[in-house]
Amino acid sequence: MTWVTGANGSPYGVTNLPYGVFRHGGHEPRIGVRIGDAVLDLAGAEAAGLVLAGGALGRPTLNGFMALGRPQWTAVRQRVTELLTDVTHRPVVEPLLVPIAEVELLLPFEVADYVDFYSSEHHASNVGQIFRPGQPPLLPNWRHLPVGYHGRAGTVVVSGTPVVRPRGQRGTPDGPVTGPSVRLDIEAEVGFVVGVPSPLGEPVAVADFADHVFGVVLVNDWSARDIQAWEYQPLGPFLGKSFATSVSAWVTPLDALGAAFVPAPVQDPPVVEYLRDEPHLGLDLRLAVDWNGQRVAEPPFAAMYWTPAQQLAHLTVNGASLRTGDLYASGTVSGPQRGQVGSFLELTWGGAEPVTVGGESRTFLADGDTVTLTATAPGPDGGTIALGEVTGTIRPPR
């Protein structure tokens, strides 16, 4: 129970406490923690000696704090919990609360490298059936390793940033044409944010996941399907993705997700040794996709074939180093049913089966459309916690 008005029973209660970076009243950007409908100014709290983090909370991104490591993450979370639950602290802490309606939320961390996986069996199967009908939907490597690729870190933007419809080449029967994308799509994903780096040449074991990963964000990996389809052979997606990738303004710490770890789907065939995790745990995050305010899908993250610990071990098995701020996303989250898919490509089966949104028949994104991804997870006390939403509106091409 917290003394913060209205926060008990909120999905942003005292068992959640996600981190973000905000601007308020002309101050420089600073780190805060969300509690109910308020933001606790952690820079102010550290300056007042209420929390100790070696000055890391006074910076304009989470990177310095995330680099400190799990013991420090846990200590700060415990101390913040104490400040927000013990009423004796209320007189000094309450002045550090800012109503969320008054703040501007910024990109919470500086993204080092951005990797995107492809770890939903349902998504990969759907895409295979749509693009390679009559062939085996999964390629031969898919059950042996979490397929992934690098994306563009410099175009990762915070929730709320408008997305300008990208221009580019698409193939037509008469040859390529250049113009605004006509098949602009979303991908509902979950992203994992690395805090503690690793040295070049040294793989990170599946068991060391929680030593390196600080927390979780929601991700919308906007995708121009027409640009992607024409460009991607043989080196993978490039401009079909690199125009914008939106992340939530709040990073939910792993410490808040203890009750959300659940057994992941059994993997068959068995995976090679460096990918073996015991216990084999995924996360019971329940995503939702709202298209212009209308719920169109509820993708279950617990159905993901590859776990975040396996993804991290794979990412580094070749000796690739990690840096603070590395972001790796799960790939589109899709469940077995049509109402559980994380992309409009799947929802409309390649555009062949339109859906009704706001009374109109629709396939891909129109200018002015807004897509909002949200997610909840079981909280540690039997309640529910919310991940930060990620939203974006499509602007016409320039």
Catalytically active residues, by annotation: 123
* 200 counts as binding a second copy under rule CB under 8 A: yes
> Are 283 and 261 spatial neighbours (Cβ–Cβ below 8 Å)?
yes
Shortest Å, Cβ 144 to a second copy: 5
Which residues pair with residue 198 across a beta bridge? 322
**Choice between 9 and 171, CB closer to a second copy:** 171
* 134 counts as binding a second copy under rule CB under 8 A: no
> Are 158 and 244 spatial neighbours (Cβ–Cβ below 8 Å)?
no
Is 228 annotated as ligand-binding? yes
Q: Are strands 156-158 and 261-263 parallel, antiparallel or unpaired?
A: unpaired
**Choice between 112 and 210, CB closer to a second copy:** 112
Shortest Å, Cβ 226 to a second copy: 11
Distance CA 130, CA 341 (A): 14
Which residue from 40, 206, 227, 329 is in contact with a second copy, where contact means CB under 8 A? 227
Distance CA 196, CA 212 (A): 5
Is 189 annotated as ligand-binding? yes
Helices (runs of H) and strands (runs of E) counted in the chain: 9, 26
**Choice between 16 and 324, CB closer to a second copy:** 324
**Choice between 44 and 168, CB closer to a second copy:** 168
Residue closest to 182 by CA, chosen among 364, 371, 392, 346: 364
Which residue from 26, 133, 235, 278 is in contact with a second copy, where contact means CB under 8 A? 235
Which residue from 26, 49, 133, 140 is in contact with a second copy, where contact means CB under 8 A? 140
Q: Which residues between 25 and 84 bind a second copy (CB under 8 A)?
A: none
Which residue from 72, 85, 125, 321 is in contact with a second copy, where contact means CB under 8 A? 321
Distance CA 372, CA 219 (A): 10
Distance CA 124, CA 136 (A): 11
Distance CA 371, CA 47 (A): 38
**Choice between 35 and 329, CB closer to a second copy:** 329
The residue range among 66-74, 85-93, 169-177, 282-290 that interacts with a second copy, by the rule CB under 8 A, is 169-177
Q: Are strands 327-329 and 114-117 parallel, antiparallel or unpaired?
A: parallel
Helices (H), the chain: 42-47, 63-66, 70-85, 90-93, 121-131, 209-212, 225-231, 308-316, 344-347
Shortest Å, Cβ 168 to a second copy: 5
Residues that bind a second copy (CB under 8 A): 112-113, 115, 118, 139-141, 144-145, 147-155, 157, 164, 166-169, 171, 175-178, 200-203, 224, 227, 230-240, 242-244, 269, 272-274, 314-315, 317-323, 326, 395, 398
Q: Residues marked as binding for Mg(2+)?
A: 221, 241, 245
